[in-house]
Amino acid sequence: MLNKFKRALSKASQLFSRTKGASTEEIEDILLSADVGIKYTQEILQRIGEDGGDLVAALKKELVDLLSISIPRIDVEKPIIIMVSGVNGSGKTTTVAKLASLYQQRERVVLACADTYRDAASEQLEIWARRAKVEIVTSQKGQDAAAVVFDTISRAQAKSIDRVLVDTAGRLHTRGDLMGELGKIRKVITKFRPTGPDLNILTIDANLGQNSIQQARVFTEQIGINGLILTKFDGTSKGGAIIPICNELNLPVLYLGIGEGIDDIVEFDPTTFVEALFE
Ligand SMILES: Nc1nc2c(ncn2[C@@H]2O[C@H](COP(=O)(O)OP(=O)(O)O)[C@@H](O)[C@H]2O)c(=O)[nH]1
Ligand SMILES: [Mg+2]
């Protein structure tokens, strides 16, 4: 897994490994090419300048600090409820499948297909459920997505299932429609859990780099996202954008998606991530 992770980071690490022996100006260029963005690049350069010691060591420390955003603690009665949102194609369904496969090693998991907008969304999720060996509550196109979620959580409670993973739609007629629908799903969840989903995850395609921030802000403000998963981290050269993304949104990165397969996910740990970047 670690090797796969390093391979997935290879484009970004080609950049970051060039910091060895580099001057401050060269480090600035490297950070900007990795899409760290001007604001955080300036901030990092200022701090490592003050440090006066080894530039690369100081840089690593700054990156780890900037990536260390506290993760919401889940301390609730079962089932744990996880909702996954994001724009079309950002990797929601694949991520739900990956998380299901990860959790089912120790827990009983059920998936809710709350994407009732796209053709064959339920069939696609059913295939993943079979691969991950977890249960699923399917839906029909056009069905009330919030009702599907209600049924799934009720079933999970009745059968003592540990986790509910909710896959949602990425596109409706307008962005307002989408936020309205996600808001309805969230509201149904509050019937079981007044504070909303225990993990309210936004998937972001890492290839979008900093361009994803504005879009992510809409989800964060409107439906109370509390954690991020950056998908398609394999092969992106914009991996440095993870810094502005999580800091501008003030949200922790929980996992990284590193491929299309069911096992292609790694839990995000700032130190491991930064070490791998510089290999
Ligand atoms: N390379 C790569 N592809 C991914 C990753 N996650 C998702 N994908 C691909 O992105 C496309 C859209 O994924 P999907 O889960 O259907 O997105 P959704 O519309 O948000 O549900 C599919 O072709 C996936 O195989 C990832 O981590 N790496
Ligand atoms: Mg989907």
Selection from 59, 20, 30, 22 nearest residue 43 by Cα: 59
The per-residue pLDDT for 171 is 87
Strand order in the sheet with 253-257: 135-137, 109-114, 163-168, 80-85, 199-205, 227-231, 253-257, 265-267
By alpha-carbon position, which residue is closest to atom 13 of ligand 1? 91
Residue 68 φ then ψ, to 5°: -90, 85
Q: Who lines ligand 1 at CB under 6 A?
A: 86, 88-94, 170, 231-232, 234, 257-260, 264
Q: How far apart are CA 63 and CA 271, in angstroms?
A: 9
**CATH fold of 80-277:** Rossmann fold (3.40.50)
Pocket probe for ligand 1: among 83, 94, 256, the residue whose CB has the most ligand atoms within 8 Å is 94
**Tokens 């955080």 sit at which residue?**
40
Helix pair 38-51, 242-249: axis angle to 10 deg: 100
Q: pLDDT by residue for the chain (279 residues), tens digit each? A: 678 889 899 999 999 999 999 999 999 999 999 999 999 999 999 999 886 789 999 999 999 999 999 998 888 899 999 999 999 999 999 999 999 999 999 999 999 999 999 999 999 999 999 999 999 999 999 999 999 999 999 999 999 999 999 999 998 888 889 999 999 999 999 999 999 999 999 999 999 999 999 999 999 999 999 999 999 999 898 999 999 999 999 999 999 999 999 999 999 999 999 999 998
Residue 198 alpha carbon to ligand 1 centre in Å? 23
CA distances from 76 to 185, 192, 198 (A): 19, 11, 8
The per-residue pLDDT for 3 is 83
CA distances from 93 to 45, 87, 89, 174, 195 (A): 38, 11, 9, 21, 24
Residue 8 alpha carbon to ligand 1 centre in Å? 15
Selection from 239, 254, 246, 245 nearest residue 201 by Cα: 254
Could you state, in order of their start, the residue ranges of all structural domains in the chain? 80-277
Residue 183 CB burial class (10 angstroms; 0-12, 13-18, ≥19): middle
The per-residue pLDDT for 172 is 83
What letter does residue 75 receive in the DSSP assignment?
A: -
Taking residue 214's Cβ as centre, other Cβ atoms within 10 Å add up to 9
